[in-house]
Each structure stands twice: as structure tokens, then as C-alpha cells.
Chains A and B, each alone.
Chain A
Amino acid sequence: MLPELGQFALILALLLAGMQAFFGIAGPLLGRDRWIAAVTPAVAGQSVMVALAVGCLIASFVSNDFSVSYVAGNSNSALPLFYRVAALWGAHEGSLLLWILLLAAWTVAVAIGSARLPPRFAARVLGVLGVVSFGFLLFTLATSNPFARLDPPMPDGRDLNPILQDPALAIHPPILYTGYVGFAVAFAFACAAMLEGRLDATWARWTRPWTTAAWAFLTCGIALGSFWAYYELGWGGFWFWDPVENASFMPWLVGTALVHSLAVTEKRGLFKSWTLLLAILTFSLSMLGTFLVRSGVLVSVHSFAADPARGIFILAFLVIMIGGALTLYAWRAPLLKSSAGFELGARESFLLFNNVLLITAATTVFAGTMAPLISDALKLGTVSVGPPYFNPTFLLSMLPLAALLSVGIHSNWKRGRLKDSQRMLLITLLAAAVLACALVYGIYQHGLVLTPVGALLGIWIILSSFVEPLSRWRRGLRVPRGMLGMTIAHSGLGVLVIALTTVQSFTLEHDVALAPGATTTVGSYLFRFDGVQAIEGPNYDGIGATVTVTRGGAPVAVFKPQKRQYWVQHQLTSETAIRMDHGNNIFVALGEDLGAGRWSLRVQIRPLVSFIWLAALIMAIGGAVAASDRRYRNSKVTEAAVPGAAAGSAA
């Protein structure tokens, strides 16, 4: 009965989302207050129904109901309970349901948080979110019903893909999707502003915390995915420029641009239509990313052919949403003129460069991701685009971005004179240069051409970002949460730049063949292979190796990498062993039996690689701190609170 109840709940949710969309958009348009008042109940009803549907599917997973096709395809009675719940988003149908659930959660949060907003505007925001919900619910019900029954039911399920049976991957999709979906809120605010034909600093103040929060989640989600790829895939890289990774990275790049452009719109009333465009673009890329990954267009062109209905629906929905928003933009954006000006060298211009560079980076990633598809479609041959393309082109826009960030932090709004902060600029640069030399030539004693540059930029960013809050603190002034969050996020970026530099410069990788008792030396570490033994888990068996690592005779750790064979899908997976030692990330993966008593092992040492994920976490924390600024919550603001608007019109 539960699956039918779940399906029924989904249909009700679809109807309620339709009501939410209709009343939310038509109510303010026709000035019907009673329609506007009906939006919030529709939101409540829709979210309850979606939650009920998700609950039903989870119950089917937990109770091993293999008459449900989706459960049978992605679970198994031997699967541990934790993964039976996580299997909910193990494949296409459930992932869509998770998307819808998170969208409902964000919508409820907006409905609660918008109690102080003008009712007409709030209704419009919720109405646009209703359109998005409606589209996704319709897509689920029409093409990807997770509650479809099997007749006869399967005796046991086909199991969750073994590679997904991992704690990091189990929580990776919800966090990533929370980020993706969160940009729907910024999108809805943008559409509402365009429908209203009015956009001021107050609007930016309402939009900023939602955007920053979504950005923080997306940052975390991408980092988790990268971390998982590092230790689960057994390849030892942290980023592969894989289409699936790029699909999540593009909205992040554009979302980062949006976060910064919103700052200018709030503080100075500038970049208005640009901000709107970014909000539309970010969410469009989020949707595109979800669909590209989930429909398998990018990974395998054949998914479209396999289910043409799904592909056509996706395409139609994307065209309606993005096309609709862009049409609205073309019609309304000219109304939203920015009045104030600014000088070259003012903070606005640095944020403009920030946006240009981030969009350039996003464009190059987009081009590289889509090129194989386009080349294939135009019959130019089957190509693949990998790190040799992505690394240099990405670096090309990121190096100036990092340099301009350190300078831009010292700049003031509106005025282009950097003279006032010249001293701090030089002091931080000098200090960064000394520290970078100490790091590169003191600790590592060699390096590539770009190694000192990367180290310098990373350290400079960290030092520069602390200048303003420290000076405020010394003068006894309060450091607002927004500034604190910015400082944390920027220093996270600095840590990221340093970590990326050292990893790219000093990584050691070796594939070795060892017999039990034999040793190999990588860097300053000695690896001794102690042999293999059989292992057995709840739903797999396999072999585990023991590798003892020492450094200069002193023991470091005993590594136990495994090779697992999962019973149901007969798939072989690697469980790598990873340890930190003196900032070095030591990675050992077990290969195969080479015969003659020898085994292949993959041994890698990556200095500071863990700091990449730590940096992402720091950035996300910065975003969370900034989003929690009290300024955004008690915002009883009028037009007069925009410093730039008054000054600009006077000029």
C-alpha cells in the first residue's frame, strides 16, 4: 500500500505546486489579496505531501519491498540499514525525488523567512518556486516514477552500486543538491524582482543570505565529491575534470560571481541587471548539471535514445524555464538602471574583474565539457577533453583572479585611490613573498616555475583578507558577521591556492610490484609489503593487504588497503588506505595478483592534499557565517539606506 500512498502524495503535491505557482504569480498581477493569502497554505501542503512521498519510498527501502521496481534495482536484503536509506538517491528516480524534497525544504524556509517581506513580493517569490516544483514533480510523475511496481516482485534486490556504498558518497548528493536547489531561491528572487519591475538595495539584502547559504552547501558538496573520488576510485587524484564534476563546478563558478555581484548591488546599487542575469544563469546551470548527470547525456549520449520521452521532457523543461526567465529579463531588465558611477581602482571595479574572470573560467569549463558532445553531433570525430586543456585555461583566469583579490581587498568603495592602503598592500606582499620562499625553498627545496607564484598568491590572499577586520578590531569597532564570513572564506581560498600549488608541484606517484617482505622507497618513506589475507564484510568479501610504512627508521603507520568483491553485483572495488604524516597525504591502493607471489601496489604521496578539502570547508564556513549576519534578518530598510543611490544621483 505504501508505494501507492507515496504516488498519490506526489500527485497531490503536483496539484498543490500548481496552485502555489498560479496564486503566487497571478495574485500580485491581478491584485487579488485572497489569492496571495492562499500561497503559503499551498506551500505547506506541497511540502507535507512531498515529505510523505519520500517517507513512503524510504519505508519501502527499509522494509525491503522488492515489488517496487526502484527498490529492487537499488537495494538488497543484505545491504546495511544506513545504505538502504541512502539508496533512495542511488539512481535517477530517487535523486529527482530528493531534488524535489530539498526544493520543498528551501521553499518552506523562504516562506518562513519572508514573513517580513512585502506580501506581494513574497507571493511572487513563492510562485516562481512553485513553477520549478511543478516542473520537477511533473517530470517525476510522467517519466521517472519511483513507485512503479514490479509484477511479479523480485525475490531479492539487485543491490546498490558498490562504489556508492561509502559514507562520504552517501551524504554527498543531499549536500550537493541542497546547494544546487538553493540557487532556485536566488532565481525566484530575481524573477520576482523582474515581475515587480523594481530592484533596490533591499532586494539585494533579501537575496544575499539565501544565495550565500546555497553557495556554502554547493562548496561542501563539491569538496565531498572530490574527497570521495580521491579515496574510493583508487586513482589518487582529487579532481579529474570529469563531465560530472564539471557539471557541479560550473554553477559554483557562476554562483561565486553572483555572491560578489550581489554585494555590489546591495552596497552601491550597481550591476543590477548583471546580478539578475547571473541569478538566472546560476540556477540554469544547476538544472543543466542535475539533468546532464542524471539523464546521462554527458557520460553516455545513449541515455537520450534509451528513453526519448525523458530526454525531450528535460529539454522542453529547460527551454521553458531558462527561456521564460531570459524573456522576462529582456523585457524588464532595461527598467532597472544603475544610477551611480565608480572609479577604476575602486572596489566595484575589482569585483567587476572578479565577475569577468569567474565567468571566463566557467565558459572555458563549459566549452571543454560540451566540446565532445558538439564534436560528436557535428560528426567531427569522437574526442575527449582532459586536464591538458582544462588545467592551463583554468589557471589563466584564476591566477589574475587571485592576484586581483589581494589588491582589491585593500580598495575602497567608489573611490579609486589605492594610496591610502598602499602601505598595507606592500607590507602584506612582502610578508607573503618571504613566507612563500620559506615554504618552497625551505621545506621542499625545489619547485616548478609557478610554485613560488602560487605559494605567494595564496599567502598574500590570507594576509590581505585579515587586514580590514584586524584594523577594525584594534580600533575597538565591531566586526560584522558579513565581514567575518568574507575574511574566513577568502582565507579558505588562500589555503586552497597554497594546497593546490604544493600538490601539483610535489606529488609522487609510483606503481610497484612487490613480493611479501619486499620494500620500496617513495620520497622519504619506506614501504614494506607484509602480504595479503582474506577479509569478509556484511555484503562482500575480498582481500586485504598489510603495508608498513616507516620514515628514517621510525614507524609511521600500518596501511591496510583492500580489494572488495560485492556479492550481488560481482563488482570489484578498491578501498584505499590513506594516512596523514607531517602534512603529507600517503595513499596506498592494492592492485592485483601479478603471479610469482608478487602484487601490484599504487603508492602516492601528496603534500597538503587534505588541505584542499579543508580549504573548501573553511570557505563554506565563511559563507555560513556571512549568511547568518543579523543585518539580513531585521531588514526594515528603505530606499534611503542605499548610500550609493543618493550619492550617485547627486553626482
Chain B
Amino acid sequence: MTPRQRRLGLVIGIVVGVSIAGALALSAFRNNVTFFFDPSQVVAGQVPAGERFRLGGMVTKGSVQRAPGSLELHFVVTDFAHDVPVSYSGVLPDLFREGAGVVAQGRLRSDGTFVADEVLAKHDEKYMPPAVAKSLKRRHGEARSEPGS
């Protein structure tokens, strides 16, 4: 093999390797991207059945319920247009509060309850998950404009 051929081989090898990596990354993307839905979309049935997704909205004031002494917890996530009941078992993040924004990850049960295996809150008090903020703004606008129209 001449040096030129060898270099060509090397380049082809790299291109093939990078393409394989790219293809695998793409498929990893397709299978592992988590979509975000707000309560209105969930109630409207826009979530594909059995899919793991993120639910975002506000924790309805007064909705947090727990059987005394149990890790199991129920609360309601709302976008002020629709509500979705959520159940979760585990330690809550520090910033979880009634009336504050929340993002929960999990699956929808057939009875319409969202079973969360993870409840997220960011480490900044001023932080509102952008998706939640946007969805709230949109739903809030709808809720306000609906009676008038």
C-alpha cells in the first residue's frame, strides 16, 4: 500500500465510523427524547398511549394530599384551563410548593392519573421551567379571552 492509499483508507474508516456514530445517535434521539405536555394537552388525549412524558404546570393550591406517615403523595397539576391528578412516591425536591411551577416525569394511567417517578424543581427560586411558563401564558390568555369571545 502506498502512503496515499493508506491515508485514503484511514479517511474512509473515519467517515464510516462517524456515520455509524451519527446514525446511532439519531436513533438514540428518536427513542429517548421526552416530550413535554401541559394538562390541557393531556386531557385532550394528545399523549400517545403508554408513552413516558413530562407533565408541567402549577401545583393547585390545597391539592397536596398524603396519608399520614406515608411516602405516597397526591396532588393536582393545572394550567388554569384543565387539571391532571398526579401521584408520586418519594422525597420531594426542596422547591416543590403548592402554587408553584412543577415538572413531573412519568406515565399516564388508564384512569387519567399521571404516575410520576420523578418530580423536578430547578435550583433557582426565580426559575420557572420555560415550557411551563409558555404553556401557562398561552392557557391563561385563552382562559381570559374565551368568556369575551
**Residue A396 at the B interface, CB < 8 A?**
yes
**Residue B44 at the A interface, CB < 8 A?**
no
Q: Which of B18, B66, B68 contacts A360 (CB 8 A)?
A: B18
**Residue B92 at the A interface, CB < 8 A?**
yes
Pairwise interchain contact A572-B91, C-beta atoms closer than 8 A: no
**Residue B33 at the A interface, CB < 8 A?**
yes
Known: A302-B130, A513-B69. A383 touches B94 (CB 8 A): no
Pairwise interchain contact A600-B130, C-beta atoms closer than 8 A: no
Known: A356-B17, A513-B71, A600-B91. A343 touches B24 (CB 8 A): no
Question: Please, which residue of chain B has its CB at the minimum distance from the CB of A574?
Answer: B94
Q: Which of B69-118 contact A (CB under 8 A)?
A: 69-71, 89-95
Pairwise interchain contact B92-A163, C-beta atoms closer than 8 A: no
Binds B, one of A245-253, A527-535, A591-599, A605-613: A591-599
Known: A349-B10, A393-B28. A386 touches B127 (CB 8 A): no
In the bound complex, what is the Cα–Cα distance between A174 and B13 (angstroms)?
41
In the bound complex, what is the Cα–Cα distance between A295 and B103 (angstroms)?
22
Q: Which residues on the B side are within 8 Å of A235 (C-beta)?
A: 93
Q: Which residues on the B side are within 8 Å of A163 (C-beta)?
A: 123-124
Pairwise interchain contact B125-A161, C-beta atoms closer than 8 A: yes
Produce 1/0 per residue, A274-317, CB < 8 A to B. Answer: 00000000000000000000000001111000000000000000
Q: Which of B25, B29, B66 contacts A595 (CB 8 A)?
A: B66
Question: Please, which residue of chain A has its CB at the minimum distance from the CB of B124?
Answer: A161
In the bound complex, what is the Cα–Cα distance between A273 and B73 (angstroms)?
59
In the bound complex, what is the Cα–Cα distance between A364 and B22 (angstroms)?
8
Q: Which of A341, A385, A396 contacts B24 (CB 8 A)?
A: A396
Pairwise interchain contact A571-B34, C-beta atoms closer than 8 A: no
Q: Which residues on the A side are within 8 Å of B128 (C-beta)?
A: 300
Pairwise interchain contact B92-A591, C-beta atoms closer than 8 A: yes
Pairwise interchain contact A597-B69, C-beta atoms closer than 8 A: yes
**Residue B61 at the A interface, CB < 8 A?**
no
Q: Which residues on the B side are within 8 Å of A299 (C-beta)?
A: 122, 124, 127, 130
Q: Which residues on the B side are within 8 Å of A513 (C-beta)?
A: 69-71
Pairwise interchain contact B69-A594, C-beta atoms closer than 8 A: yes
Produce 1/0 per residue, A141-169, CB < 8 A to B. Answer: 00000000000000000000101000000
In the bound complex, what is the Cα–Cα distance between A574 and B92 (angstroms)?
11
> Whole-angstrom distance from the CB of B19 to the nearest CB of chain A?
11
Question: Please, which residue of chain B has its CB at the minimum distance from the CB of A592?
Answer: B92
Q: Which residues on the A side are within 8 Å of B18 (C-beta)?
A: 356, 360
Pairwise interchain contact B3-A371, C-beta atoms closer than 8 A: no
Q: Which of B32, B90, B91 contacts A386 (CB 8 A)?
A: B32
Q: Which of A161, A364, A594 contacts B70 (CB 8 A)?
A: A594
In the bound complex, what is the Cα–Cα distance between A600 and B125 (angstroms)?
23
> Whole-angstrom distance from the CB of B36 to the nearest CB of chain A?
4
Known: A299-B122, A381-B35. A393 touches B25 (CB 8 A): yes
> Whole-angstrom distance from the CB of B10 to the nearest CB of chain A?
6
Q: Which of B3, B9, B68, B95 contacts A572 (CB 8 A)?
A: B95
- By Cβ-Cβ distance, the 6 closest A-B pairs, closest first, are A596-B69, A595-B68, A596-B68, A591-B91, A388-B32, A382-B36
Which residues does B use to contact A, with CB under 8 Å?
3, 6-7, 9-10, 14, 17-18, 21, 24-25, 28-29, 31-36, 54, 66, 68-71, 89-95, 122-125, 127-131, 133-134
Which residues does A use to contact B, with CB under 8 Å?
161, 163, 233-235, 299-302, 341, 343-344, 349, 352, 356, 360, 364, 367-368, 371, 381-386, 388-389, 392-393, 396-397, 511-513, 515, 563, 569, 571-574, 589, 591-592, 594-598, 600-602
Cross-chain pairs A/B with CB under 8 angstroms, 24 sampled: A299-B122, A299-B124, A300-B127, A300-B133, A356-B18, A360-B18, A371-B29, A382-B35, A383-B33, A383-B35, A385-B34, A388-B28, A389-B32, A393-B25, A396-B21, A396-B24, A511-B89, A513-B69, A513-B70, A591-B91, A594-B66, A595-B66, A598-B70, A601-B91
